[in-house]
Amino acid sequence: MRVTYYLDVISSWCYWAEPAWAELKRRYAGRVQFDWRIALVSPADFPVSQEQEEWFFRRSGGTTMHSPYMLDAGWVEKGRKGGYPGPNLVAEAARDLGASGDTVRLALADAALRHGRKVGNMGEAVAVAAKAGKIGPKKLRARAESAPVRARVEASTSEFHAHRISQRPAFILEDPIGDKAVFSGLVRVEPLASAIEAMLSDTAAYAAHKAHFGDPPKT
C-alpha cells in the first residue's frame, strides 16, 4: 500500500499536517510505503502582505488548530511576482543529493513559518537546506536551478491537479487491489488512519481468499 503526500513547503496548512504525517509513518512503518511530492501553490493564491497572511494564520493556527503560538509571516514579500517556488525546488533538489526524507523540507518550513526567514529568495532557501541536509550549498543551488528538478516539480504539481483537488495538504491512498482514497485539505491523523486500516484489511482479505481459492476461473 502507498500513501502520497502532496505539499507546498511553505503552506501553513501543510505545516499543521506534519504531526499527522509523522504519526502515520510511525504507526504503519513496514506496512505502507510513504512518499511526498511537491504541489506548488499558484502565485495568485499567496497573500499579498504580511498583514493578510497573519489574518489567515489566526484562522488556521489559532481558531482551528488551537496552537499555543502564532506562525511568523515575515517570509511574505509584498509585491512579489511568481509565487515562491524557490524553497520547493531546493527541497526537491536535496532529494537528489542524499536528503530524501523530511528533514530538509521541514527545516525550510520552520525557517519561514516559525522564524519569518525569506526563503522565497533562493540564496536563503539554499542556506537553510544545505545546513539541515549537510549538503554543499553550491552543489545544492545548481541542482535546484536545474531543468530536471524544475520539470519534476511541475510534473508533480500537475499530478496533484489531475486528482481534481485544490487544497494542500493532500493525501492519496492506494492499495494493491485497486482502491484509492483522496483526502484534500485534512490535517488530522484520525480520518487518514481509519482509511488506511480499512484498505489494509481489504487487501489482507483478498490475499487470504487467493491463498485458499487461487486465481479466478478463466471462463
pLDDT tens figures, 101-128: 999 999 999 999 999 999 999 999 999 9
Taking residues 129-138, report their average pLDDT.
98
Percentage of the chain lying above the pLDDT 90 cut: 96
Residue found by looking up cell 512579489 in the block: 80
Q: How confident is the model at residue 53 (pLDDT cuts 50, 70, 90)?
A: very high
Single-letter residue type at 27: R
Quote the pLDDT of residue 46. 93
Taking residues 57-75, report their average pLDDT.
94
- Does the structure show a pLDDT above 90 at 179? yes
Taking residues 23-32, report their average pLDDT.
98
Quote the pLDDT of residue 23. 98
Taking residues 146-155, report their average pLDDT.
98
- C-alpha to C-alpha distance for 128 and 41, rounded to whole angstroms: 21
Structural domains in the chain, sorted by start? 2-213 (3.40.30.10)
Quote the pLDDT of residue 79. 85
Percentage of the chain lying above the pLDDT 70 cut: 100
Q: Are 93 and 146 in contact (CB under 8 A)?
A: yes
- C-alpha to C-alpha distance for 90 and 208, rounded to whole angstroms: 44
Q: In the 8-state DSSP scheme, what is residue 81? A: -
- Does the structure show a pLDDT above 90 at 135? yes
- What is the chain's mean pLDDT, rounded? 96
Q: Which helix (H) or strand (E) holds 192?
A: helix 189-213
- Does the structure show a pLDDT above 90 at 81? no
Burial level of 217, CB count in 10 A (0-12/13-18/19+)?
Answer: exposed
Provide the whole-model pTM.
0.95
Question: Cα 69 to chain center, whole Å?
Answer: 22
